[in-house]
Amino acid sequence: MEEPTGRLTQKKVAIVGGGLVGALNACYFAKRGFDVEVFETREDIRQAKVVKGRSINLALSHRGRQALKHVGMEDKIVSQGIPMHARMIHSPSGKQSPIPYGKKGQFILSVDRANLNKELLTEAETYPNMKMNFDHKLKDWSPETGLMTFTRLDGSHDQIQADLIVACDGAFSAIRKQFLRRSRFNYSQTYIPHGYMELTMPPVNGEFAMKPNYLHIWPRNTFMMIALPNLDKTFTCTLFMPFDEFEKITTEDEVMEFFQEYFPDTIPLIGVDALKRDYFRLPGQAMVSIKCSPYHIGDKCVLMGDAAHAVVPFYGQGMNAGFEDCIVFDEIMEQLNEDFSAVLPEYTRVRVPDDHAIADLAMYNYIEMRAHVNSKWFLFRKHLDNFLHFFLPNTIVPLYTMVTFTRTRYHKAVDRWQWQDKVINRGLLFGATGAVLGGSYLLIKNPPDINKLIIPTEKMWARLMSFWTS
Protein backbone atom coordinates (compact mmCIF):
# COMPACT_ATOMS: atom_id res chain seq x y z
CA MET A 1 0.00 0.00 0.00
CA GLU A 2 0.95 3.65 -0.43
CA GLU A 3 0.43 6.61 1.89
CA PRO A 4 -2.86 8.46 1.41
CA THR A 5 -2.70 11.97 0.01
CA GLY A 6 -2.92 14.72 2.66
CA ARG A 7 -6.34 16.44 2.74
CA LEU A 8 -7.79 19.22 4.91
CA THR A 9 -11.44 18.16 5.04
CA GLN A 10 -11.85 14.43 4.62
CA LYS A 11 -14.90 13.60 2.56
CA LYS A 12 -16.73 10.39 3.37
CA VAL A 13 -17.13 7.75 0.67
CA ALA A 14 -19.46 4.83 1.36
CA ILE A 15 -18.92 1.76 -0.80
CA VAL A 16 -21.92 -0.56 -0.89
CA GLY A 17 -20.74 -4.13 -1.52
CA GLY A 18 -17.47 -5.82 -0.56
CA GLY A 19 -17.17 -8.09 -3.59
CA LEU A 20 -14.38 -7.82 -6.16
CA VAL A 21 -15.15 -4.31 -7.46
CA GLY A 22 -16.18 -2.95 -4.03
CA ALA A 23 -12.96 -4.15 -2.38
CA LEU A 24 -10.76 -2.82 -5.20
CA ASN A 25 -12.62 0.52 -5.16
CA ALA A 26 -11.99 0.72 -1.39
CA CYS A 27 -8.25 0.68 -2.18
CA TYR A 28 -8.66 3.35 -4.89
CA PHE A 29 -10.66 5.77 -2.73
CA ALA A 30 -8.51 5.11 0.36
CA LYS A 31 -5.38 5.75 -1.69
CA ARG A 32 -6.84 9.15 -2.62
CA GLY A 33 -7.18 9.90 1.10
CA PHE A 34 -10.96 9.78 1.46
CA ASP A 35 -12.60 8.58 4.64
CA VAL A 36 -13.84 5.23 3.22
CA GLU A 37 -16.36 2.77 4.64
CA VAL A 38 -17.37 -0.48 2.96
CA PHE A 39 -20.75 -2.05 3.75
CA GLU A 40 -21.27 -5.70 2.86
CA THR A 41 -24.50 -7.67 3.42
CA ARG A 42 -22.77 -11.03 3.95
CA GLU A 43 -20.27 -12.06 6.59
CA ASP A 44 -16.52 -11.65 5.99
CA ILE A 45 -15.68 -14.33 3.40
CA ARG A 46 -12.26 -14.71 5.02
CA GLN A 47 -14.07 -16.22 8.04
CA ALA A 48 -16.91 -17.90 6.12
CA LYS A 49 -17.07 -21.68 6.02
CA VAL A 50 -19.05 -21.93 2.81
CA VAL A 51 -18.80 -19.32 0.08
CA LYS A 52 -22.10 -19.36 -1.74
CA GLY A 53 -23.05 -18.58 -5.31
CA ARG A 54 -21.16 -17.26 -8.32
CA SER A 55 -18.60 -19.02 -10.42
CA ILE A 56 -15.43 -20.42 -8.87
CA ASN A 57 -12.78 -19.06 -11.25
CA LEU A 58 -12.45 -16.10 -13.55
CA ALA A 59 -10.26 -15.04 -16.46
CA LEU A 60 -8.05 -12.08 -15.58
CA SER A 61 -6.66 -10.13 -18.52
CA HIS A 62 -4.96 -6.81 -19.33
CA ARG A 63 -7.63 -4.38 -18.11
CA GLY A 64 -8.00 -6.15 -14.78
CA ARG A 65 -4.25 -6.37 -14.35
CA GLN A 66 -3.79 -2.66 -15.04
CA ALA A 67 -6.41 -1.86 -12.43
CA LEU A 68 -4.64 -4.08 -9.86
CA LYS A 69 -1.27 -2.56 -10.78
CA HIS A 70 -2.45 0.91 -9.78
CA VAL A 71 -2.82 -0.27 -6.18
CA GLY A 72 0.29 -2.45 -6.27
CA MET A 73 -1.59 -5.77 -6.42
CA GLU A 74 -0.81 -7.02 -9.93
CA ASP A 75 2.25 -9.19 -9.26
CA LYS A 76 0.75 -10.89 -6.23
CA ILE A 77 -2.49 -11.82 -8.01
CA VAL A 78 -0.73 -12.89 -11.21
CA SER A 79 1.54 -15.20 -9.21
CA GLN A 80 -1.58 -16.91 -7.84
CA GLY A 81 -3.15 -17.43 -11.28
CA ILE A 82 -2.61 -20.01 -14.02
CA PRO A 83 -1.70 -18.67 -17.47
CA MET A 84 -3.88 -19.87 -20.37
CA HIS A 85 -2.22 -19.24 -23.75
CA ALA A 86 -4.88 -20.69 -26.01
CA ARG A 87 -8.33 -22.14 -26.25
CA MET A 88 -8.18 -25.94 -26.55
CA ILE A 89 -11.08 -27.10 -28.72
CA HIS A 90 -12.33 -30.63 -27.99
CA SER A 91 -14.16 -32.14 -30.97
CA PRO A 92 -16.90 -34.74 -30.39
CA SER A 93 -14.43 -37.45 -31.49
CA GLY A 94 -12.01 -36.37 -28.74
CA LYS A 95 -9.55 -34.54 -31.02
CA GLN A 96 -7.94 -31.50 -29.38
CA SER A 97 -6.84 -28.40 -31.36
CA PRO A 98 -5.45 -25.23 -29.81
CA ILE A 99 -6.39 -21.71 -31.03
CA PRO A 100 -4.00 -19.15 -29.50
CA TYR A 101 -5.51 -16.09 -27.79
CA GLY A 102 -2.99 -13.73 -29.31
CA LYS A 103 0.67 -13.50 -30.17
CA LYS A 104 3.37 -15.60 -28.53
CA GLY A 105 3.67 -14.63 -24.88
CA GLN A 106 0.12 -13.26 -24.61
CA PHE A 107 -2.14 -15.10 -22.18
CA ILE A 108 -5.09 -14.73 -19.85
CA LEU A 109 -5.05 -15.98 -16.26
CA SER A 110 -7.36 -18.38 -14.48
CA VAL A 111 -7.82 -16.91 -10.98
CA ASP A 112 -9.83 -18.07 -7.98
CA ARG A 113 -12.69 -15.67 -7.27
CA ALA A 114 -12.84 -16.24 -3.51
CA ASN A 115 -9.08 -15.96 -3.07
CA LEU A 116 -8.92 -12.75 -5.14
CA ASN A 117 -11.74 -11.25 -3.09
CA LYS A 118 -9.96 -12.13 0.17
CA GLU A 119 -6.67 -10.61 -1.03
CA LEU A 120 -8.41 -7.39 -2.05
CA LEU A 121 -10.23 -7.07 1.30
CA THR A 122 -6.96 -7.63 3.19
CA GLU A 123 -5.19 -5.05 1.01
CA ALA A 124 -7.99 -2.51 1.56
CA GLU A 125 -7.68 -2.98 5.32
CA THR A 126 -4.04 -1.85 5.26
CA TYR A 127 -5.26 1.73 4.68
CA PRO A 128 -5.86 3.46 8.04
CA ASN A 129 -8.61 5.64 6.49
CA MET A 130 -10.69 2.58 5.45
CA LYS A 131 -13.28 0.83 7.61
CA MET A 132 -14.92 -2.47 6.72
CA ASN A 133 -18.47 -3.30 7.89
CA PHE A 134 -19.78 -6.83 7.29
CA ASP A 135 -23.29 -8.13 8.03
CA HIS A 136 -24.68 -4.71 7.02
CA LYS A 137 -27.74 -4.92 4.80
CA LEU A 138 -28.86 -1.71 3.09
CA LYS A 139 -32.33 -0.76 4.29
CA ASP A 140 -32.79 2.73 2.90
CA TRP A 141 -30.83 5.64 1.49
CA SER A 142 -31.40 9.14 0.14
CA PRO A 143 -29.87 10.35 -3.12
CA GLU A 144 -30.49 13.91 -1.93
CA THR A 145 -28.70 13.83 1.46
CA GLY A 146 -26.49 10.74 1.19
CA LEU A 147 -28.00 9.41 4.45
CA MET A 148 -27.95 5.60 4.54
CA THR A 149 -29.56 3.13 6.95
CA PHE A 150 -28.25 -0.43 7.33
CA THR A 151 -29.76 -3.35 9.22
CA ARG A 152 -27.29 -5.45 11.21
CA LEU A 153 -27.65 -9.20 11.78
CA ASP A 154 -29.00 -8.60 15.30
CA GLY A 155 -31.77 -6.42 13.81
CA SER A 156 -30.27 -3.14 15.04
CA HIS A 157 -29.81 -0.21 12.65
CA ASP A 158 -26.71 1.72 11.66
CA GLN A 159 -26.92 5.16 10.02
CA ILE A 160 -24.20 7.03 8.21
CA GLN A 161 -24.10 10.10 6.00
CA ALA A 162 -21.81 9.93 2.98
CA ASP A 163 -20.60 12.58 0.55
CA LEU A 164 -20.47 9.91 -2.14
CA ILE A 165 -22.15 6.52 -2.33
CA VAL A 166 -20.39 4.05 -4.64
CA ALA A 167 -22.74 1.16 -5.47
CA CYS A 168 -20.73 -2.01 -6.12
CA ASP A 169 -23.52 -4.28 -4.96
CA GLY A 170 -23.72 -6.50 -8.00
CA ALA A 171 -26.20 -7.45 -10.70
CA PHE A 172 -29.16 -7.33 -8.29
CA SER A 173 -28.04 -4.02 -6.77
CA ALA A 174 -30.22 -2.69 -3.96
CA ILE A 175 -28.98 0.84 -4.66
CA ARG A 176 -30.10 0.66 -8.30
CA LYS A 177 -33.75 0.19 -7.22
CA GLN A 178 -33.90 3.93 -6.43
CA PHE A 179 -32.51 4.72 -9.87
CA LEU A 180 -35.37 2.70 -11.41
CA ARG A 181 -37.95 4.86 -9.63
CA ARG A 182 -36.60 8.05 -11.20
CA SER A 183 -37.70 9.40 -14.57
CA ARG A 184 -35.47 9.06 -17.61
CA PHE A 185 -33.40 6.15 -16.24
CA ASN A 186 -32.80 3.67 -19.05
CA TYR A 187 -32.58 0.07 -17.96
CA SER A 188 -32.63 -3.40 -19.44
CA GLN A 189 -32.19 -6.88 -18.00
CA THR A 190 -32.05 -9.81 -20.41
CA TYR A 191 -31.88 -13.41 -19.26
CA ILE A 192 -30.44 -15.76 -21.83
CA PRO A 193 -32.18 -19.11 -22.44
CA HIS A 194 -29.06 -20.92 -21.17
CA GLY A 195 -28.20 -21.86 -17.62
CA TYR A 196 -24.83 -22.98 -16.27
CA MET A 197 -23.69 -25.79 -13.98
CA GLU A 198 -20.24 -26.33 -12.45
CA LEU A 199 -18.57 -29.74 -12.18
CA THR A 200 -15.13 -30.53 -10.80
CA MET A 201 -12.46 -32.56 -12.61
CA PRO A 202 -10.03 -33.88 -9.97
CA PRO A 203 -6.24 -34.32 -10.42
CA VAL A 204 -4.93 -37.63 -11.79
CA ASN A 205 -1.97 -39.00 -9.78
CA GLY A 206 -1.45 -35.54 -8.25
CA GLU A 207 -1.30 -33.83 -11.67
CA PHE A 208 -3.77 -31.91 -13.84
CA ALA A 209 -6.06 -34.32 -15.73
CA MET A 210 -5.68 -32.26 -18.93
CA LYS A 211 -3.10 -29.77 -20.20
CA PRO A 212 -3.25 -26.93 -17.65
CA ASN A 213 -2.29 -23.85 -19.68
CA TYR A 214 -5.43 -23.81 -21.79
CA LEU A 215 -9.06 -22.80 -21.54
CA HIS A 216 -10.66 -26.05 -22.67
CA ILE A 217 -13.81 -25.75 -24.79
CA TRP A 218 -16.26 -28.41 -25.97
CA PRO A 219 -18.44 -26.48 -28.47
CA ARG A 220 -21.62 -28.39 -29.30
CA ASN A 221 -23.79 -25.78 -31.11
CA THR A 222 -26.83 -25.39 -28.84
CA PHE A 223 -24.71 -26.01 -25.75
CA MET A 224 -21.07 -26.18 -24.69
CA MET A 225 -18.74 -26.96 -21.82
CA ILE A 226 -15.58 -25.12 -20.79
CA ALA A 227 -12.91 -25.97 -18.20
CA LEU A 228 -10.48 -23.67 -16.36
CA PRO A 229 -7.51 -24.88 -14.30
CA ASN A 230 -7.23 -24.22 -10.54
CA LEU A 231 -4.11 -23.98 -8.34
CA ASP A 232 -5.05 -27.24 -6.56
CA LYS A 233 -4.64 -29.09 -9.91
CA THR A 234 -8.37 -29.51 -10.38
CA PHE A 235 -10.33 -28.12 -13.34
CA THR A 236 -13.66 -26.41 -12.90
CA CYS A 237 -15.89 -27.50 -15.78
CA THR A 238 -18.86 -25.30 -16.61
CA LEU A 239 -21.67 -26.71 -18.69
CA PHE A 240 -23.76 -24.10 -20.55
CA MET A 241 -27.09 -25.43 -21.81
CA PRO A 242 -30.65 -24.20 -22.46
CA PHE A 243 -32.83 -24.57 -19.38
CA ASP A 244 -35.25 -26.85 -21.19
CA GLU A 245 -32.37 -29.23 -22.01
CA PHE A 246 -31.32 -29.24 -18.33
CA GLU A 247 -34.88 -30.11 -17.40
CA LYS A 248 -34.96 -33.06 -19.80
CA ILE A 249 -32.19 -34.84 -17.87
CA THR A 250 -33.79 -36.21 -14.72
CA THR A 251 -32.07 -39.53 -13.97
CA GLU A 252 -28.45 -40.66 -13.45
CA ASP A 253 -28.74 -42.81 -16.58
CA GLU A 254 -29.79 -39.81 -18.64
CA VAL A 255 -26.77 -37.84 -17.35
CA MET A 256 -24.47 -40.66 -18.47
CA GLU A 257 -26.16 -40.98 -21.86
CA PHE A 258 -25.85 -37.24 -22.39
CA PHE A 259 -22.14 -37.13 -21.50
CA GLN A 260 -21.51 -40.31 -23.49
CA GLU A 261 -22.94 -38.63 -26.57
CA TYR A 262 -21.42 -35.18 -26.30
CA PHE A 263 -18.45 -35.18 -23.90
CA PRO A 264 -17.22 -38.80 -23.82
CA ASP A 265 -13.59 -37.76 -23.21
CA THR A 266 -14.55 -36.04 -19.93
CA ILE A 267 -16.33 -39.02 -18.31
CA PRO A 268 -13.21 -40.86 -17.06
CA LEU A 269 -11.67 -37.52 -16.02
CA ILE A 270 -14.64 -36.23 -14.00
CA GLY A 271 -15.50 -39.74 -12.84
CA VAL A 272 -18.77 -41.62 -13.26
CA ASP A 273 -19.84 -41.42 -9.60
CA ALA A 274 -18.97 -37.72 -9.26
CA LEU A 275 -20.85 -36.95 -12.47
CA LYS A 276 -24.00 -38.77 -11.37
CA ARG A 277 -23.87 -37.04 -7.97
CA ASP A 278 -22.77 -33.49 -8.89
CA TYR A 279 -25.12 -33.05 -11.82
CA PHE A 280 -28.07 -33.04 -9.40
CA ARG A 281 -26.44 -30.97 -6.63
CA LEU A 282 -27.78 -27.67 -7.99
CA PRO A 283 -30.13 -26.86 -10.87
CA GLY A 284 -28.88 -24.83 -13.87
CA GLN A 285 -28.08 -21.26 -12.79
CA ALA A 286 -29.48 -18.24 -14.67
CA MET A 287 -27.32 -15.68 -16.50
CA VAL A 288 -28.39 -12.08 -17.02
CA SER A 289 -27.13 -9.17 -19.09
CA ILE A 290 -27.88 -5.76 -17.55
CA LYS A 291 -27.41 -2.35 -19.17
CA CYS A 292 -28.46 1.01 -17.78
CA SER A 293 -27.87 4.75 -18.03
CA PRO A 294 -27.10 7.17 -16.41
CA TYR A 295 -24.79 5.69 -13.78
CA HIS A 296 -25.20 8.55 -11.33
CA ILE A 297 -27.74 10.60 -9.39
CA GLY A 298 -26.64 14.20 -8.80
CA ASP A 299 -23.28 14.39 -7.04
CA LYS A 300 -24.11 11.75 -4.45
CA CYS A 301 -24.28 8.29 -5.97
CA VAL A 302 -22.62 6.27 -8.72
CA LEU A 303 -23.10 2.68 -9.95
CA MET A 304 -20.01 0.58 -10.77
CA GLY A 305 -19.21 -3.04 -11.66
CA ASP A 306 -22.08 -5.50 -12.10
CA ALA A 307 -24.49 -3.00 -10.51
CA ALA A 308 -24.00 -0.87 -13.63
CA HIS A 309 -23.37 -3.56 -16.25
CA ALA A 310 -23.76 -7.26 -15.56
CA VAL A 311 -22.55 -9.16 -18.63
CA VAL A 312 -22.90 -12.77 -19.70
CA PRO A 313 -19.60 -14.61 -19.11
CA PHE A 314 -18.71 -15.44 -22.71
CA TYR A 315 -16.02 -12.81 -23.31
CA GLY A 316 -14.30 -13.30 -19.96
CA GLN A 317 -14.61 -9.55 -19.36
CA GLY A 318 -17.10 -9.19 -16.47
CA MET A 319 -14.49 -8.69 -13.75
CA ASN A 320 -12.04 -6.95 -16.10
CA ALA A 321 -14.68 -4.37 -17.09
CA GLY A 322 -15.60 -3.84 -13.43
CA PHE A 323 -11.95 -3.36 -12.46
CA GLU A 324 -11.43 -0.98 -15.38
CA ASP A 325 -14.39 1.07 -14.03
CA CYS A 326 -12.17 1.83 -11.02
CA ILE A 327 -9.31 3.13 -13.22
CA VAL A 328 -11.63 5.17 -15.45
CA PHE A 329 -13.33 6.78 -12.44
CA ASP A 330 -9.95 7.47 -10.88
CA GLU A 331 -8.65 9.08 -14.08
CA ILE A 332 -11.68 11.37 -14.22
CA MET A 333 -11.26 12.21 -10.50
CA GLU A 334 -7.73 13.31 -11.34
CA GLN A 335 -8.80 15.40 -14.34
CA LEU A 336 -11.64 17.14 -12.53
CA ASN A 337 -10.01 17.66 -9.13
CA GLU A 338 -12.28 15.25 -7.26
CA ASP A 339 -15.27 17.56 -7.79
CA PHE A 340 -18.08 14.98 -7.55
CA SER A 341 -20.63 17.27 -9.24
CA ALA A 342 -18.44 17.25 -12.38
CA VAL A 343 -16.90 13.79 -12.05
CA LEU A 344 -20.16 11.83 -11.87
CA PRO A 345 -21.79 13.13 -15.09
CA GLU A 346 -18.45 12.81 -16.89
CA TYR A 347 -18.08 9.22 -15.71
CA THR A 348 -21.56 8.41 -17.12
CA ARG A 349 -20.71 10.15 -20.39
CA VAL A 350 -17.41 8.35 -20.83
CA ARG A 351 -18.17 4.90 -19.45
CA VAL A 352 -21.72 4.06 -20.61
CA PRO A 353 -20.83 3.47 -24.30
CA ASP A 354 -17.93 1.21 -23.34
CA ASP A 355 -19.90 -0.89 -20.86
CA HIS A 356 -22.78 -1.23 -23.32
CA ALA A 357 -20.30 -2.33 -25.99
CA ILE A 358 -18.78 -5.07 -23.83
CA ALA A 359 -22.25 -6.27 -22.77
CA ASP A 360 -23.20 -6.58 -26.45
CA LEU A 361 -19.90 -8.27 -27.33
CA ALA A 362 -20.34 -10.82 -24.56
CA MET A 363 -23.80 -11.57 -25.91
CA TYR A 364 -22.37 -11.91 -29.42
CA ASN A 365 -19.71 -14.33 -28.18
CA TYR A 366 -22.45 -16.33 -26.45
CA ILE A 367 -23.44 -17.38 -29.98
CA GLU A 368 -19.94 -17.47 -31.45
CA MET A 369 -18.39 -19.74 -28.80
CA ARG A 370 -21.06 -22.41 -29.10
CA ALA A 371 -21.51 -22.44 -32.84
CA HIS A 372 -18.83 -20.77 -34.90
CA VAL A 373 -15.85 -22.26 -33.14
CA ASN A 374 -16.83 -25.42 -35.03
CA SER A 375 -17.12 -23.77 -38.43
CA LYS A 376 -14.40 -23.81 -41.05
CA TRP A 377 -15.13 -20.21 -42.03
CA PHE A 378 -14.71 -19.04 -38.43
CA LEU A 379 -11.38 -20.83 -38.10
CA PHE A 380 -10.25 -19.49 -41.47
CA ARG A 381 -11.14 -15.93 -40.42
CA LYS A 382 -9.42 -16.30 -37.01
CA HIS A 383 -6.25 -17.48 -38.74
CA LEU A 384 -6.51 -14.83 -41.47
CA ASP A 385 -7.00 -12.09 -38.83
CA ASN A 386 -3.98 -13.30 -36.84
CA PHE A 387 -1.96 -13.54 -40.06
CA LEU A 388 -2.89 -10.01 -41.14
CA HIS A 389 -2.19 -8.74 -37.60
CA PHE A 390 1.29 -10.26 -37.84
CA PHE A 391 2.07 -8.48 -41.14
CA LEU A 392 0.12 -5.27 -40.47
CA PRO A 393 0.29 -5.00 -36.67
CA ASN A 394 -1.03 -1.43 -36.59
CA THR A 395 -3.75 -1.79 -39.22
CA ILE A 396 -5.43 -5.11 -38.48
CA VAL A 397 -5.82 -5.95 -34.79
CA PRO A 398 -8.13 -8.89 -33.98
CA LEU A 399 -11.10 -7.88 -31.81
CA TYR A 400 -10.17 -10.41 -29.15
CA THR A 401 -6.71 -8.86 -28.90
CA MET A 402 -8.07 -5.31 -28.54
CA VAL A 403 -10.53 -6.42 -25.85
CA THR A 404 -8.23 -8.74 -23.94
CA PHE A 405 -4.67 -7.41 -24.31
CA THR A 406 -5.14 -3.64 -24.60
CA ARG A 407 -7.10 -0.88 -22.92
CA THR A 408 -8.61 0.29 -26.24
CA ARG A 409 -12.02 1.62 -25.21
CA TYR A 410 -14.54 -1.18 -25.72
CA HIS A 411 -16.77 0.83 -28.04
CA LYS A 412 -13.78 1.95 -30.11
CA ALA A 413 -12.67 -1.68 -30.37
CA VAL A 414 -16.11 -2.59 -31.72
CA ASP A 415 -16.09 0.30 -34.23
CA ARG A 416 -12.64 -0.68 -35.43
CA TRP A 417 -13.57 -4.35 -35.64
CA GLN A 418 -16.58 -3.56 -37.84
CA TRP A 419 -14.38 -1.41 -40.06
CA GLN A 420 -11.66 -4.07 -40.32
CA ASP A 421 -14.23 -6.76 -41.01
CA LYS A 422 -15.66 -4.74 -43.88
CA VAL A 423 -12.20 -4.17 -45.29
CA ILE A 424 -11.18 -7.83 -45.03
CA ASN A 425 -14.46 -9.16 -46.40
CA ARG A 426 -14.31 -6.68 -49.29
CA GLY A 427 -10.73 -7.70 -49.92
CA LEU A 428 -11.77 -11.35 -50.02
CA LEU A 429 -14.74 -10.60 -52.27
CA PHE A 430 -12.59 -8.42 -54.51
CA GLY A 431 -9.89 -11.04 -54.65
CA ALA A 432 -12.39 -13.79 -55.43
CA THR A 433 -14.18 -11.73 -58.09
CA GLY A 434 -10.87 -10.66 -59.62
CA ALA A 435 -9.66 -14.25 -59.67
CA VAL A 436 -12.83 -15.47 -61.37
CA LEU A 437 -12.95 -12.63 -63.92
CA GLY A 438 -9.23 -12.73 -64.61
CA GLY A 439 -9.28 -16.50 -64.91
CA SER A 440 -12.25 -16.45 -67.26
CA TYR A 441 -10.64 -13.78 -69.41
CA LEU A 442 -7.40 -15.70 -69.69
CA LEU A 443 -9.19 -18.95 -70.45
CA ILE A 444 -11.16 -17.32 -73.24
CA LYS A 445 -8.26 -15.42 -74.73
CA ASN A 446 -5.62 -18.11 -74.45
CA PRO A 447 -7.12 -21.52 -73.85
CA PRO A 448 -5.06 -24.18 -71.97
CA ASP A 449 -1.67 -22.39 -71.87
CA ILE A 450 -0.74 -22.58 -68.18
CA ASN A 451 2.38 -20.42 -68.61
CA LYS A 452 0.28 -17.32 -69.25
CA LEU A 453 -1.27 -17.31 -65.74
CA ILE A 454 -0.21 -14.26 -63.72
CA ILE A 455 0.93 -14.85 -60.14
CA PRO A 456 0.44 -11.61 -58.18
CA THR A 457 3.69 -10.20 -56.83
CA GLU A 458 4.07 -9.19 -53.21
CA LYS A 459 4.09 -5.57 -54.34
CA MET A 460 0.71 -6.02 -56.03
CA TRP A 461 -0.75 -7.48 -52.84
CA ALA A 462 0.64 -4.63 -50.76
CA ARG A 463 -0.90 -2.08 -53.14
CA LEU A 464 -4.20 -3.93 -53.05
CA MET A 465 -4.21 -3.91 -49.25
CA SER A 466 -3.30 -0.25 -49.04
CA PHE A 467 -6.09 0.54 -51.48
CA TRP A 468 -8.72 -1.25 -49.39
CA THR A 469 -7.47 0.04 -46.09
CA SER A 470 -7.05 3.67 -47.16
191 binds a copy of itself (CB under 8 A): yes
Q: Which is nearer to a copy of itself, 153 or 286 (CB)?
A: 286
Only segment of 105-113, 186-194, 381-389, 459-467 that touches a copy of itself (CB under 8 A): 186-194
Element holding 286 (H helix, E strand) = strand 285-293
Does 451 bind a copy of itself (CB under 8 A)? Our answer is no
Distance CA 303, CA 309 (A): 9
Q: Considering beta carbons, is residue 164 or 192 the nearer one to a copy of itself?
A: 192
Tell which positions 276-335 bind a copy of itself, by CB under 8 A. Answer: 286
Continuous segment of H or E residues that includes residue 366: helix 340-370
Task: Work out how close the CB of 185 gets to a copy of itself at its nearest, in angstroms, rounded to a whole number.
Answer: 7
> Can you tell me whether residue 180 is helix, strand or coil?
helix
> Which among 78, 133, 131 has a CA at the least distance from the CA of 108?
78
Shortest distance in whole angstroms from residue 289 CB to a copy of itself: 10
Cis peptide before 98, with omega less than 30 degrees from 0?
no
Q: What angle do CA 87, 216, 363 make, to 5 degrees?
A: 70
Applying CB under 8 A, among 10, 161, 189, 446 the residue interacting with a copy of itself is 189
Does 183 help bind a copy of itself (rule: CB under 8 A)?
A: yes
| Among residues 161, 190, 250, 260, the one that binds a copy of itself under rule CB under 8 A | 190
Q: Is 441 in the site for a copy of itself (CB under 8 A)?
A: no
Q: How far apart are CA 379 and CA 286, in angstroms?
A: 30
Of the candidates 151, 122, 164, 111, the one whose C-alpha atom is nearest the C-alpha of residue 303 is: 164
Using rule CB under 8 A, residue 186 touches a copy of itself: yes
**What whole-number distance in Å separates Cα of residue 14 and Cα of residue 150?**
12
- Judged by CB under 8 A, does residue 185 bind a copy of itself? yes
Span interacting with a copy of itself, options 57-65, 134-142, 176-184, 340-348, rule CB under 8 A: 176-184
Instruction: Please say which residue, 198 or 338, places its beta carbon nearer to a copy of itself.
Output: 198
CA–CA distance, 377 with 373 (Å, rounded to integer): 9
Q: Does residue 437 interact with a copy of itself by CB under 8 A? A: no
Residue 187 makes contact with a copy of itself by CB under 8 A: yes
Q: Which of 465, 441, 468 is CA-nearest to residue 453?
A: 441
**Using the rule CB under 8 A, which residue among 188, 222, 341, 395 binds a copy of itself?**
188
Contact 237, 266 (CB under 8 A): yes
Stretch that binds a copy of itself, among 92-100, 177-185, 260-268, 346-354 (CB under 8 A): 177-185
Q: In angstroms, what is the minimal distance from the CB of 352 to a copy of itself?
A: 13
Residue 149 bridge partners (DSSP): 140, 159
Distances (CA, A) of 114 to 103, 321, 324, 341: 30, 18, 19, 35
Q: Smallest distance from the beta carbon of 291 to a copy of itself, in angstroms? A: 8
Summary count for the chain: helices (H), strands (E):
16, 19
Instruction: Please choose, out of 128-136, 156-164, 181-189, 220-228, the segment that lies near a copy of itself by the rule CB under 8 A.
Output: 181-189
Q: Contact residues for a copy of itself (CB under 8 A)? A: 180, 183-191, 286
